[in-house]
Each structure stands twice: as C-alpha cells, then as structure tokens.
Structure 1
C-alpha cells in the first residue's frame, strides 16, 4: 500500500505529519514516501529535498480531484484518498479502507542475472478499463536536518523515505500480461509503482495505485 506525504521543512504544520508517516513506514505492508514540495521555500528556508516535480505531482492530484487549492501537509493513500494534516487513527483508517478493495493487478519482481537488474511481471485478472503508467521511485530511508530559518527555525527534524527521483518507465494498457526490465544503480532503495493514468487536458493525471513493490 502506497502512502505519499507532501511536506516541507518550511511548514510549521508538517512535523506531526512527518512523524505519522514514520510510524506507518515501519509497517511491512505499507510503502510510505515523503515528497517535499518547493512552494514553502520563499519563507526563508530552502528545503534541500524539495523538487518542482513533486509540487507538480501534488498539483496533478488536485486537478484529478477537481480541486484548486494545495494543502501542506497532505497525504494521498493508494492514489485516491486525500487527507490533510492527518492524525494517526485517520491515517490508519484510510490504509485499512484501501486494503479492503480487491486487487486488480498482480505484480511479481524477480532479480536478473546481473547486479541491479530486475524483471517486473504484470497481469490483470480482468482487462483494465484505463491504462497505467509504471514508475520507479528512489528514496533516502532516513534524514535528520537542523532548520536554521523559516517557520521551523531552531528545530532538528527527522524525515523518513525522502524521495529523490520519480520516473515513469513504461505505459501498460492492462490488457495482456507484460514483463518489464529495470536496471537500478546506486545505493538508494528503489520501488516500482503501477498507477492508473487518468485523462488530462495536456498530460495524464495520477489515479489509483494498483500495485507497488520494492526492487531489492
């Protein structure tokens, strides 16, 4: 189960959400990811983990939901449920709700013959109504940062599973089984995510996450 947290080191409301994400990240059935957005940087502290691409992803979720306003912190569970400044029970309930839905995509990951090579096998018991995008995400498991300026000045904050790269690697229409190959280099952990691609005006929008797993 994928849980995405849109957060910022410059946001005073974000540390409790960062702590909540750390708790669910300890669960073996949850793939928790922190995406740092850059629109808080103007307040005096430039978040070194923030990337415009992560702000764009949060905006894409908002467009998919028909919303005009961005909130920080925001949690997205399984690509569909949105929570603003969630407390632990609320986040646990959202994860339980997502798990109650029957799986629609089967995914297996196997190692290749060479170091860092992986095969990703995807299949669907029934043809999918909408296509998907297969994405590979890299992250740093733990980070501790002393905040010198901005709303959190003077605090030392801990972050969990900080995303450093998020790349689409293939499209899959969900009709016939497919095998994809991936090459992972470097020490940062990697995960693969299969997500529904919703129609957008110019580019597809993120929808339900149908499968996810670690490449290890």
Structure 2
C-alpha cells in the first residue's frame, strides 16, 4: 500500500492525461510546466527554458505561522478568475516495504505531496487560508501555483523551503 496515495492526487493526474500533459497515470509521475517529464528517471537536469517567456505577473506567497496569503499582480494579458493551489512537499521520507516486488527494501522518497489545497477562483487575485498541517519528512517545501479556468497547467508558480524547528531554512 502506498502510504502517500490520495484519490484527489490520482484525479489530478487523470486531468493532466485528459488535457494532454501526460501519457498516463502512474506513480511516481513528474509534471514540469504542465507536461509530463521523464528525464528524472535517468537523473537528467531539469530542462529550463533557454529563452525567457513573456512576463505573466508576480505571485507572492507569505506565511505567518500556519496562515498563508497569496497575492498575484498580473500582467495586463492575464486571464481572469485564476484558481490557486498550494502543496506541501516532503523530502527525506522512507517506507519499509513488507510485500510485493520491493519486499524487504526500504524506499526513500523526495518531492512527496503531503497536502494539496485548492483555494478556489478569485476575482481579486488574493487568497488566504490556513496551511494544512503535516509534519512528515526531514525537510519540507511549499509550492503555490495558479491555473486558468479549465486548464490544469500552471499559469504562474512560486515555492520555497519551509523553515521548521531544527532546520535553518536553506
């Protein structure tokens, strides 16, 4: 049993497949800029764009304790009623496998989605919520992104490490 499985995560993967961003639904799956990226299987570096894309606006994420605030200052061409999403990621997790093809092994995991919150569409480009709690992992990061209506691919994103007790935040 996958201790990190969540029906909502599988539904999101199916949405990417319907949208054409991936060829299937599997775990682990890595989506980069709205499209399936398999290079991580071969430990390839992330393919970063060589030419800058036109600016879409600036997304700012602020955290005060468990209170999260997102503000988007859009470029004039930005779509209206963007939806905000926030994911807490865990790093340095491990799972002792007792059955199946990996029986007897301990698997290590990074970039595990621990919580995923959809904050809904906003006409004001401002969102506030209480960050969903989850203490698993040696380190954690937070990523937030905006999607246009009917599009699962991110329109704008921001992220960084969470500073927790016992970490230096780097």
What TM-score bracket applies, with the shorter chain setting the length?
0.7 to 0.9
Shift of 1:192: 4.5
Distance in 1 (CA, whole Å) between partners of 2:51 and 2:6 is 30
Q: Does 1:82 align with 2:36?
A: yes
Is residue 195–residue 206 contact of structure 1 (8 Å, CA) maintained in 2? no
Give the structure 2 partner of residue 172 of structure 1.
122
Show structure 2 runs of 5+ residues with no match. 164-170
Give the structure 2 partner of residue 118 of structure 1.
68
Tell me how many residue pairs correspond in the alignment: 157
TM-score normalised by length of structure 1: 0.60
Task: Summarize deviations over 1:182-205 as a string: whole Å, max 9, x none.
Answer: 323646456342232353xxxxx4
Give the structure 1 partner of residue 93 of structure 2.
143
Q: Does 1:212 align with 2:158?
A: yes
TM-score normalised by length of structure 2: 0.73
Shift of 1:161: 3.2
Task: Summarize deviations over 1:76-102 as a string: whole Å, max 9, x none.
Answer: 1022x212364222x522xx1288434
Distance in 1 (CA, whole Å) between partners of 2:11 and 2:51 is 27
Distance in 1 (CA, whole Å) between partners of 2:14 and 2:66 is 32
Secondary structure of the equivalent of 1:74?
coil
Is residue 132–residue 194 contact of structure 1 (8 Å, CA) maintained in 2? no
Distance in 1 (CA, whole Å) between partners of 2:91 and 2:60 is 23
Q: Does 1:197 align with 2:148?
A: yes
More helix by share: 1
Q: CA RMSD in A?
A: 3.0
Show structure 1 runs of 5+ residues with no match. 1-45, 200-204
Distance in 2 (CA, whole Å) between partners of 1:55 and 1:123 is 31
Give the structure 2 partner of residue 101 of structure 1.
53
Distance in 1 (CA, whole Å) between partners of 2:90 and 2:119 is 20
Shift of 1:138: 2.4
Is residue 130–residue 196 contact of structure 1 (8 Å, CA) maintained in 2? no
